[in-house]
């Protein structure tokens, strides 16, 4: 066993970026990821995060050494609450989990983007679980919004 080889999760500065075709397939995969969390503000923020991750994948495909700055997204405010779309939350979570390794295989900023993608996937799964009665309980809405805003701040800090 070669003890000089980096362990799992260690990043090599000379590590090549993933193939462009693989990255572009990941972008296509995320394009269909649209989780409906049941209320406009959270759904808008979630869409903005998925869009930002897609833009980071495009930056990766273009070989950018740093991510392109993205605008801050504010979710729509108001509107009646709707039932959580469990299928869209699960599908978006699965897409985020598929693209996270592609982000992680890129430059150093990709590792943080991959962590954000995985945390967003976990949040979508949690919303789908919490909303089994049809809607996210009122006490959980604030937690979900805080997590979405926190993930957005982390992506903003990359560029």
Q: What is the 3-state secondary structure (H, E, C) of the chain?
A: CCCCCCCCCCCCCCCCCCCHHHHHHHHHHHHCCCCCCCCHHHHHHHHHHHHHHHHHHHHHHCCCCCCCCCCCCCCCCCCCCCCCCHHHHHHHHHHHHHHHHHHHCCCHHHHHHHHHHHHHHHHHHHHHHHHHHCCCCHHHHHHHHHHHHHHHHHHHHHC
Q: pLDDT tens for residues 107-138?
A: 999 999 999 999 999 999 999 987 566 777 77
104 band by pLDDT with thresholds 50, 70 and 90: very high
pLDDT, mean of residues 87-104? 96
pLDDT, mean of residues 84-99? 95
């Amino acid at each position: 066993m070669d003890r000089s080889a980096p362990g799992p999760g260690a990043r090599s500065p000379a590590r090549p970026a993933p193939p462009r075709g693989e990255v572009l397939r990941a972008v296509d995969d995320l394009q269909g990821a649209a989780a409906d969390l049941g209320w406009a503000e959270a759904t808008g923020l979630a869409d903005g995060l998925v869009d930002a991750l897609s833009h980071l994948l495009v930056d990766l495909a273009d070989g950018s050494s740093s991510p392109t700055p993205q605008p801050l997204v504010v979710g729509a405010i108001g509107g009646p609450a709707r039932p959580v779309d469990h299928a869209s939350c699960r599908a978006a979570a699965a897409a985020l989990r598929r693209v996270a390794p592609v982000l992680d295989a890129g430059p150093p900023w990709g590792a943080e983007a991959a962590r954000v993608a995985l945390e967003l996937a976990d949040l979508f799964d949690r919303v789908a679980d919490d909303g089994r009665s049809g809607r996210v309980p009122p006490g959980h809405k604030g937690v979900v919004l805080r997590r979405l805003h926190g993930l957005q701040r982390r992506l903003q800090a990359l560029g």
